[in-house]
Structure 1
């Protein structure tokens, strides 16, 4: 994992790891979450990667979109089980 630069010093993000179609984020709480093209969509993953590389805005981006991410994951899980 790459330590998050946290240029604003207020982030809930500790570290991240970039994949071809994903980003893994470690939060200061200790939680680790994987965001993938499959579970949140390409546009969100790529936007989070840009924030991670810049070292700012990643925590805000995740917080602003978390409800949307949960909804997308729930929709995809229910589609797989039917």
Structure 2
């Protein structure tokens, strides 16, 4: 997983993504995986962009409530 370094407390520790999904590790220790099937392509691709930009990922999730496919 890639470390998420926004420079501010965000609740996100790290992330990884591939074709059709993004997995995000949160400070609580749980990893949530969002897929095209669960959250939709638009949400997954936007979360990928925000993750790479290191800004706004947790805010986006809290505002849009995309459905996750898996919680570990």
TM exceeding 0.5: yes
**Residue deviations 1:17-62, cap 9 Å, x none?**
0111000000011010000000000000000000000000001001
Q: 1:76 aligns to what?
A: none
Runs of 5+ unmatched residues, structure 1: 74-82
Structure ranking higher in strand proportion: 2
Mark the runs of 5 or more structure 2 residues left unpaired by the alignment: none
Larger Rg: 1
Residue 16 of structure 2 corresponds to residue 17 of structure 1: yes
Which residue number corresponds to residue 46 of structure 2? 47
- Which protein has the bigger helix share? 1
* TM-score with structure 2 setting the length: 0.87
Runs of 4+ in 1 over 6 A off after TM superposition: none
Residue in structure 1 matched with residue 37 of structure 2 by the alignment: 38
Q: Which has the higher contact order (CA 8 A, sep 6+)?
A: 2
Partner residue in 2 for 1:77: none
Provide Cα deviations, 1:51-76, integer angstroms capped at 9, x if missing partner: 0000000010011112xx34x87xxx
